Amino acid sequence: MILCSNPECQTTAGCQCNPGARLAAEEQQIMQKALRSSVNVKRKFKLNDRVRKIKGSSWQGRVRGFYSTSLTLDGIAVESERELGNVQIYPAVAFELMQPAERQLTYWGTPIADLSDNEIRRALRQLPDGASPELVDIRVALEAEAARRADKPTDNAS
């Protein structure tokens, strides 16, 4: 690999035209070594895993990318879930895997399990078919709750 920007020079290291060529060559060797060693790195996390920093400063969010250096073979870029768009890089060993956030589905702010039978029927009539994935999730939850209640014996049954 030619490091010098002078087209007359074909030196690959220690060029007199470019005093920084020796440093550039050393940096490239370090990066190539890191890249070769990172090919075989067993990653602790997968892309989009939800993680939290174990100790020290607080940082939690989703893994958005990976990096390797000569000192940190398994590094991760984590996007904060508290400050969306903010990303910090850390060694993967500084983090632990978090369970996915539990999401309680609600219909207009009311947990689906707390809706009356009439509210569930009305909600199912009002929700359009083929809507966004979130609305489909709500429809499925409403239908499951209605089915659960239909299968549950009432106190008035004789």
Span 53-84, pLDDT tens digits: 998 888 988 899 998 888 888 999 999 888 87
Catalytic positions: 53, 88-90
Range(s) of the domain holding residue 77: 24-99
Instruction: State both tokens at 38.
Output: 């990172």
Tell whether 110 and 94 lie within a shared domain.
Answer: no
pLDDT digits (tens, 9 = 90+) for 94-129: 999 987 655 667 777 778 888 888 888 888 888 777
| Three-class secondary structure of residue 62 per DSSP | strand
- Counting Cα atoms < 13 Å in the Cβ hemisphere of 146 gives 15
For the chain, what is the mean pLDDT? Answer: 76
Report whether pLDDT(158) > 50.
no
Report whether pLDDT(49) > 50.
yes
Domains of the chain: total: 2
**Is 139 within the bounds of a domain?**
yes
Higher pLDDT pick, 131 / 140: 140
**Is 14 within the bounds of a domain?**
no
Tell whether 43 and 94 lie within a shared domain.
Answer: yes
Max avg pLDDT among 34-43, 69-78, 88-97: 88-97
Beta-strand ranges (E) seen in the chain are: 50-53, 60-67, 75-80, 87-91, 95-97, 106-107, 110-111
Higher pLDDT pick, 85 / 3: 85
**Is 117 within the bounds of a domain?**
yes
The predicted pLDDT at position 1 comes to: 47
Angle at 108 between CA 79 and CA 155, to 5 degrees: 120
pTM of the model: 0.43
* pLDDT range class, residue 146, cuts 50, 70, 90: confident
| Three-class secondary structure of residue 110 per DSSP | strand
Of the ranges 8-12, 19-23, 44-48, which one carries the lowest mean pLDDT score? Answer: 19-23
Tell whether 76 and 56 lie within a shared domain.
Answer: yes
